Structure 1
Amino acid sequence: MQKITLKSAAAGMVLARDIFRNGTTAGFPVCGKKTVLTASLITRLEHMDIATIYVEGCPCGEEGDRSLDAVLHDLEHRFVKVRHDPLMARLYDIYSDYYKRSMGDEGGRQTE
């Protein structure tokens, strides 16, 4: 999941969270989670002064972003001396699962 500006949004991206009119869950819901963005929907959201949205994956990678393989390699390197400890091994698994979920197969970028 990545928070992006509406100006960075593109047709085909999928919402990771509901969008509310005033930005809080107490506001009027505008679009639901899992909605696929279209050009007309993005335009309508702009007219509603929605500034940011959450989309699935990390479709707007920035320069300097690291790939999932590089992040997992670094994680392995950091835990190499303590992986024998059950608690540290569990911590490693938690971080590894988190990175895999948040970055996805292609570093979080959408694939088709």
Structure 2
Amino acid sequence: MTPTEVRARDQRRADATVEERMVLALEDIAQQLALIGESLCSKPDDQREADFAKSEIGSWENEGGELPPDTDHSEGIKRTFTEIFTVGPYRYAALADAIAQRKRLAPG
């Protein structure tokens, strides 16, 4: 857009009602989408595919891909996960202990 067109657009917005401003905003969005579409269509197919193939699917953490395996192999340190069972205010690492506590707390 030329500076004259920008000033004319801004003046139309200033004089417009809320509904007219919404229409002008939607027209601007449509114009921008058309420009984006033109730029995408002007690229060769192999270049468009290259834009999407920049990283491996497995590296897309937020897209459901896998994280790389833990690579920190510090000497003598091993990482483990522990299940914790809670019964009331108490915590147990063994399911049998949690069941026994639940039986003790049960009325009757």
Q: Smaller-chain TM-score range?
A: under 0.3
Name which one, 1 or 2, has greater alpha-carbon Rg: 2
Q: TM-score scaled to structure 1, two decimals?
A: 0.26
Relative to the length of structure 2, the TM-score reads 0.27
Greater percentage in helix? 2
